[in-house]
């Protein structure tokens, strides 16, 4: 497989991993990490190995943070799958529009926009956003943020490395 073809395939696997963070049962973090491992094994440069080690550390820290967060139920908050999808898309778009910090803003903004559309008013949407963030948004945001950091580092290494 050519170098460009392999990079596109790895990019698709990483994108699938990012989407997998939002879908229960899909191992999003593992897909992102596996793509980074594959790239590192293929490149075998100092930069690739440093990124693999740093990516592993980031994703392990994400796992520890997820274990420490209190478990809450999404269904109790009234959030829907559509809310999770909007939040994830908002997080991904925000990450690239406003690097790193934009993921948080986009994630919360996606929840708010979905709830505003569903409920109609600002007050109700703001309350539903707070409830959804407390229920499950924080854990999804932590996982998505960690995966976005890994993917962002990989994209940076491919472009500038």
pLDDT tens track for 97-111: 888 678 888 988 999
pTM: 0.71
State the Cα angle at 155 between 48 and 5, rounded to 5°: 85
Percent share of the chain, pLDDT over 70 = 91
Q: Where does the pLDDT of residue 12 fall: very low under 50, low under 70, confident under 90, or very high at 90 and above?
A: very high
What's the pLDDT at 153? 96
What's the pLDDT at 140? 85
């Amino acid at each position: 497989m050519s170098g460009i073809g392999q990079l596109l395939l790895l990019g698709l696997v990483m994108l699938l991993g990012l989407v997998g963070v939002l879908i229960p049962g899909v191992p999003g973090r593992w897909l992102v990490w596996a793509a980074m491992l594959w790239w590192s094994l293929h490149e075998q440069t100092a930069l690739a190995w440093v990124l693999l080690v740093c990516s592993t550390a980031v994703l392990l820290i994400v796992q520890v943070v997820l274990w420490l967060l209190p478990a809450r139920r999404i269904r109790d908050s009234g959030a829907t799958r559509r809310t999770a999808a909007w939040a994830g898309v908002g997080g991904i778009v925000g990450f690239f529009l406003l690097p790193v910090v934009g993921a948080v803003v986009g994630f919360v903004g996606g929840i708010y926009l979905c709830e505003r559309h569903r409920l109609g008013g600002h007050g109700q949407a703001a309350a539903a956003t707070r409830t959804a963030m407390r229920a499950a948004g924080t854990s999804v945001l932590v996982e998505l943020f960690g995966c976005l950091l890994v993917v962002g580092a990989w994209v940076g290494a491919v472009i500038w490395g």
